[in-house]
Amino acid sequence: MILSILLIVILGMLASRLVEKLGLPRLLEMIGVGIAVRPYGLDLLDSPILQNATDIRLIALFIIFLRAGFGLEKDLLRNVGPVAPRMSAIPCLLEGLTITAISCCLLALPLAEAGMLGFILAAVSSAVIVPAVLQLEKQGWSMRRGVPVMARAGASVDDVFAITLFTIFLGMGTQQEQY
């Protein structure tokens, strides 16, 4: 298991340097390494890592939320507070419902599966937004108006919406299978 973790870290660091030189988003590095080491790729991971994949994903989501929350300032959050839920709820619902509708129409997926697909993809947006906003903050962009704070607070609430709606569609799907 330790060898698998070391492999992921080393490949991630190498891919990170490659992605930086090419000027591509860092998320591509993570996706590329994940595709390469998975069981249907090069199959380089031990079975204990694969068995604990759900817990590892949960830890990764927790780290994203921690990174988003550590830099939030209470005074700025108070000023932009009412805007953050709107910045999260509306895009999450539009994103998830659009993917759900397209999945139903184009892929002919049942509603429950299309909804799960739509809202799991909507939940991924925080993994893209939070690192980008942290980078903008380092560069000093829009700190006066609190845009990074709004984006980070909105990303956290966005995930809560997406995970809740994913769970609802998951429940619909398992209910249909039981009857």
Q: What is the pLDDT of residue 84?
A: 63
pLDDT of 103: 95
One digit per residue, the tens of pLDDT, for the chain of length 179 reads 788 888 888 988 898 888 888 887 776 787 788 888 877 778 888 888 878 877 777 777 677 666 666 655 566 556 666 666 677 678 889 989 999 999 999 999 999 999 999 998 888 777 777 777 777 777 776 666 666 767 776 776 777 778 888 888 988 888 765 55
Amino acid (one-letter) located at 129: I
In single-letter form, the type of residue at position 52 comes to N
What pLDDT was estimated at residue 140? 73
Residue 111 pLDDT: 93
Instruction: Give CB contacts under 8 A, 24+ apart, made by 47-52.
Output: 48/1, 48/4, 49/1, 49/4, 49/5
Cβ burial, residue 178 (10 Å; 0-12/13-18/19+): exposed
What is the distance of C-alpha 44 from the center of its chain?
24
CB atoms within 10 A of CB 143: 14
Of 159, 171, 157, the closest CA to residue 80 belongs to 157
The domain limits of the chain are: 1-51, 54-178
Number of residues that make up the chain = 179
**H-only helix segments in 71-146:** 74-80, 83-106, 111-139
Task: Output the six-digit token pair for 172.
Answer: 């619909």
What tokens appear for 64 in the block?
């994203």
> How high is the pLDDT of residue 53?
76
For residue 155, count other CB atoms closer than 10 A to its CB.
Answer: 25
Contacts of 53 (CB under 8 A, 6+ apart): none
Residue 104 confidence (pLDDT): 94
Q: What pLDDT, on the 0 to 100 scale, is given for residue 70?
A: 63
